[in-house]
Amino acid sequence: MLDKLISLISPHHCVVCSDIADGMCKKCMLQLKPFNSHNCILCGYGLNTGNRCCSSCELANVNQLITVKMSKDLRKLLHEYKYNNKRAFCKVLAQIVSNNIDNTGRNYIIVPLPPSSKHRRQRGYDHILNIVRHLSKMTNCEYEMVLRRKTNFRQVGADRQTRFIQAENAFISRYPLSPNRTYVIFDDVITTGATITSAVRALRSGGARKIQILAITHRALEVG
């Protein structure tokens, strides 16, 4: 309610063209390019037609869907949302995802990846959950807070090996899961796949057998 009131008094603008919009206008949103990599986010091996890894890595039976390529404009949108308290931008981020997936209202459960308690306190809100709430309405899929974070760590600036060590047992399922439901783990940005793989591991331990991964974009790990 407060965000809506503020937006009426002082409206947000598109981070690209500066038109009035909650983060990105429809015209600029259409300029985002689909993510067209056909390689596993974890091991780099090729994906089959079901977007599943063809190797024997931990994500072999997990559908992987990253919606759009990282770009300067998308990076700015995400930065404003996550670090400059532009909470209203969560809706346009959800719209970017919704525009690039099959919105058939299947019997899926969207599972938001919980941020660390430190990040939640710093921002004052759960940035992933806010996106998921809108995405749930747009796709007619329910969402559940299935995962609980066991550890808190900062991955920004960490190398690949450190990220996997940190994330190894980062999550646990809050309750037993149905082997017949499809659980879609949602994150905003995937880098090495370490955190998302830990989440997959937790869902499997909780009883899930049908798991998918969904993210807005992928960012290559900067080395050096």
Reported as a single tens digit per residue, the pLDDT across 35-87 is: 988 999 999 999 998 899 999 899 999 999 999 999 999 999 999 999 999 99
CATH 3.40.50 is the classification of domain 33-218:
yes
Phi, psi of 30 (to 5 degrees): -70, -15
Residues 141, 184 contacting (CB under 8 angstroms): yes
Q: Which of 9, 31, 112 is CA-nearest to residue 77?
A: 31
Q: Cα–Cα distance between 112 and 120 in angstroms, integer?
A: 14
Cα separations in angstroms, 4 against 12, 89, 182: 11, 12, 34
Question: Which residues are bridge partners to 124 per DSSP?
Answer: none
Three-class secondary structure of residue 144 per DSSP:
coil
Question: Which residues are bridge partners to 26 per DSSP?
Answer: none
Could you tell me the mean pLDDT of each successive run of 10 residues in the chain, 224 residues long?
56 94 96 93 91 91 96 97 94 97 81 88 92 96 95 61 68 96 97 92 96 94 56
- The predicted model scores a pTM of 0.88
